[in-house]
Structure 1
């Protein structure tokens, strides 16, 4: 059976930047093994398969795969699929924005998309809040895994921590952009960090430092997930979502709406920008919203 696919660059408005994504349309009838083989063939950090929704009032159901395993949720597949589906909707361009729900394993994700000229910008609200895993790694172990000195780990109140929004991340604050650029993942050091007992699997390493080129809550980041077949990721929306938990843990945020900007992929030559919005009420995190742009890159047909 011929199945259409589209590739997009996500978390960017510029072709050949951001995080590449493959979206397989007409995915109904593919089993898990076939989806995994197709994702391995594309060999991108994620490939998303578009299926009919369980509830007809929603736009689609998504299944998300890295080259080696399925994920319950990931941010750049949601942004990219939302933009693509809005562009292919006959109503796109007739209104300022298109709103619909997308089903993923962790729940229903409400999306709002604005489109124009083969590209678009989407935002979505998480169906769950970040969970603190209470298994903070030792600074020395993290430093060894990254080829850095322990003195380069941490800034302000920030220390290594673990949070999850389905996928789990070990967040590593670095004292400078120079340390962020110099970090190199050591496989033995990564293995020594072990699994998170809450999930029974390793957590990806997400490094972040204060962005000197911006004001407010702006950060630069890198993400390594060798256990998922991803040596380094140009943009990681699920990590940005879980980063809201980091902000709640280490930043003195008051009630109200807070905007966070994260630049990623710079060291890879794939600059990306991810928006994170936190709404805090009565001292507690109320909602997390992720936003970003996407641009169409190619389309074709899978003959499987």
Structure 2
């Protein structure tokens, strides 16, 4: 048994007790996979991050990410939150710069800054650009599993599709905020029709619409994790990364840089704001970044 420092950040927000909560365990030498999984279950947050020495000395840290039930290859709010935590710890809250985190998906390059009067901001380059996957379920069945009618699925030329930038999501456009607010996942129905990630767990639905609650945002989104029970995630960076594929496919943004702010978590009282940036060259997605602010809300010591 030894003492290990941990911090808790609210990510994709500048306001404590909003956004997506993350536990970051900073001293993880000697912990095996089973121990990390038990600690993640003890925190019982959507994800917890565990910081280890890097395998490549040019990188800042090796980071492993766990939900209470399994390890993730990559996740957005743990990447942003861990980058902010390491930068603030190294520079006593004033750390700007570039750092690379080694995640299961591969090296993830992060940029950290602290704009005047704001919480620390971090963004990461997608280690894997979004790829469209095969989806056999029809839109009407997907809508029914969400408690919506056929007329509420889709807007403009946006249609239900399936994308992954390391973690797969079924991206589901809905007509407006009213439809998004009435989404209720039928676990049994979703389990029957949803594609599987890792061959076992149903991919999560990522519901979005063009109408937003706040001016300056491009999309309103909700992400619900299926299971018994299912639960809603207040801010999902890996889903925003996958969603970049849907934006490219349906909106076909112009050459150069495109920036989108995505609001999420409003229905559950955890308002969040995610920044998604796309670099388009020759009509193709050349690179993409996901970013957001993070604020520390707690710190302490684990004795494990």
In the superposition, the TM-score normalised over structure 2's length comes to 0.94
Quick check: 1:263 aligned with 2:266? no
State the Cα deviation string for residues 107-162 of structure 1 (Å, max 9, x = none). 11111111379941011111210111022531121112111111111001111110
Q: Is the 8 A contact 1:136 1:161 kept in 2?
A: no
Do the aligned partners of 2:14 and 2:118 also contact (CA within 8 Å) in 1? no
Instruction: Show the counterpart of 2:167.
Output: 167
Alignment partner of 1:49: what SS? strand
Which residue number in structure 1 is paired with residue 75 of structure 2? Answer: 74
Shift in alpha-carbon separation, 1:140–1:72, aligned structure 2, 3 A: same
Aligned pairs, how many? 302
Q: Is the 8 A contact 1:139 1:160 kept in 2?
A: yes
Confirm or deny: 8 A CA contact 1:66 1:229 kept in the other structure.
no
Q: Are the equivalent residues in 2 in contact too, given 1:118–1:296 (CA < 8 A)? A: no
Correspondence list, 1:11-22, <5 A: 11-22=12-23
Shift of 1:230: 5.9
Change (3 A) 1:258 1:85: same
- C-alpha spacing 1:198/1:5, structure 2 compared with 1 (3 Å): closer
Partner residue in 2 for 1:103: 102
Alignment-derived partner of residue 148 in structure 1: 148
TM-score w.r.t. the length of structure 1 is 0.94
Q: What's the secondary structure of 1:273's corresponding residue? A: strand
Q: Which residue pairs with 1:183 in the alignment?
A: 183
Q: Tell me the residue number matched to 2:293.
A: 293
Distance 1:239 1:220 in 2: 13
Correspondence list, 1:36-55, <5 A:
36-55=37-56
> For the structure 1 residues 212 and 6, does the alpha-carbon distance in structure 2 shift closer, same or farther, using more than 3 Å as the test?
closer
Kept after mapping to 2: 8 A contact 1:208/1:222:
yes
Partner secondary structure for residue 241 of structure 2: helix
CA change 1:118–1:7 in 2 (3 A) is farther
Distance 1:107 1:113, change over 3 A: same
Write the deviation string for residues 16-58 of structure 1: whole angstroms up to 9, x where unpaired: 1100000011112111111111111111110010011111111
Equivalent runs, 1:196-275 vs 2, <5 Å: 196=196, 201-213=201-213, 218-227=218-227, 231-275=231-275
Residues 68 and 229, structure 1, Cα contact 8 Å, conserved in 2: no
Kept after mapping to 1: 8 A contact 2:159/2:173: yes
Change (3 A) 1:217 1:295: closer
In angstroms, what is the RMSD of aligned CA positions? 2.0
C-alpha distance in structure 1 between counterparts of 2:40 and 2:202, whole Å: 21
Which segments of 5 or more consecutive residues in structure 2 lack a partner in the other structure? none
How many Å separate the matches in 1 of 2:142 and 2:298?
39
Residue 57 (structure 2) aligns with: 56
Q: Distance in 1 between matches of 2:262 and 2:138?
A: 25
Structure 1: runs of 5+ lacking an equivalent: none
C-alpha contact (below 8 Å) 1:118/1:295 kept by paired residues: no
